[in-house]
Amino acid sequence: MLRRAEENPLIRTENIAASGEGLRVVGTFNAGAASLGDETILLLRVAEEAVPGAGAAACPVFDEKRGRIVAARFDEKQVSREGDPRSFRVGGKQFLTSMSHFHVARSRDGIHFTPDPEPFMLPANRYEEFGIEDARITKLEGRYYITYTAASRLGCVVALAVTDDFVSARRLGVLFPPDNKDTVYFDRKIGGKYYVLHRPSASVFARPEMWLAESPDGRCFGNHRFVAGVRPGMWDSDRIGAGAPPFLTERGWVEIYHGVSGSGRYCMGAMLLDAEKPWRVLARSEKPLLEPEYPYEKTGFFGNVVFGCGAVRRGDVVRLYYGAADSSVAEASMTVEDIYANLNL
């Protein structure tokens, strides 16, 4: 039912230049997607690390004065490591070994992409100190709404930016406080209100699961409702979250979401939400729509991962753009009927 592009991976680490001196790209993945005229736009998450020196630990840091990511190095004797290779401490202060920003890539055919020469968005404030990650894009009332995870010592928040042209963007601030991720806008009002799916994750009782919120203005959200949770013993038993923004069909809203098993394997599935009451789940994938099968999906910076943040629908065909093993961007196409078949409708 689902067809991967023969050219996969479409975008690799070597296709993107590092944003600054002393940095190198270690992952290009989890891209938001949108149509702009006759172009397909991908908003890539680009992860960078600092090139280490002899006897030194290195990491990227956000230099607020310069508005850039720069390489920082520390004497290895000053470094405390706690078993997690993604971070270390110096004098009790935490640093991450990699940091992400956003880069635009453009295509006329949806397969062959040309990255812009410069980054689209770099970290810019205290909420983005550890980087910006996993953009989702919804065209809403003529503008492109970009939701993304902003990471810092304060936690992971959901932030919002808007653009008209993917040349520049305007930040509108924090939508949801920590810890929250995986927020996607519906592309039209429902009953006169704006809706988003989001995923709170700080709880001693529940797993990270999907919730819905509504707003009169698209900025201030409330009336939060639980939508869907993990399913023990299944492919989405550990955590779930929205993937690409939902799109409306004659049967309801189709949401392509990610699920994680207890072994840490990331897959993509789908759920069908009621057109007028989107907190009601009408159907859900019993088996994954997309799962790690190919070498570029099973081996990489973080293996056994397919993670889709963006899809472009043209007519009956849906192109899902997904991160493969936290290293590259790949594409898989399907029809709406293919999704219905996965949902056993």
State yes or no: pLDDT of 170 exceeds 90.
yes
Q: How many helices (H) and strands (E) does the chain have?
A: 2, 26
CA–CA distance, 92 with 255 (Å, rounded to integer): 42
Convert the pLDDT of each residue in 93-106 to its tens digit: 888 999 999 999 99
- Contact present, 159 and 131 (Cβ < 8 Å): no
Which structure tokens are listed for 168? 């520049």
Assign domain 3-342 to its CATH superfamily.
Answer: Glycosyl hydrolase domain; family 43 (2.115.10.20)
Name the average pLDDT for the chain. Answer: 95
The stretch 234-242 carries a mean pLDDT of: 98
Convert the pLDDT of each residue in 110-166 to its tens digit: 999 999 999 999 999 999 999 999 999 999 999 999 999 999 999 999 999 999 999
State yes or no: pLDDT of 248 exceeds 90.
yes
CA angle 219, 220, 221 (to 5 degrees): 110
| Residue 73 CA to its chain's centroid (Å) | 29
Classified as helix, coil or strand, 166 is coil
Convert the pLDDT of each residue in 287-317 to its tens digit: 999 999 999 999 999 999 999 999 999 999 9
CA–CA distance, 24 with 258 (Å, rounded to integer): 28
State yes or no: pLDDT of 54 exceeds 80.
no
Convert the pLDDT of each residue in 57-85 to its tens digit: 899 998 888 888 999 988 888 888 877 77
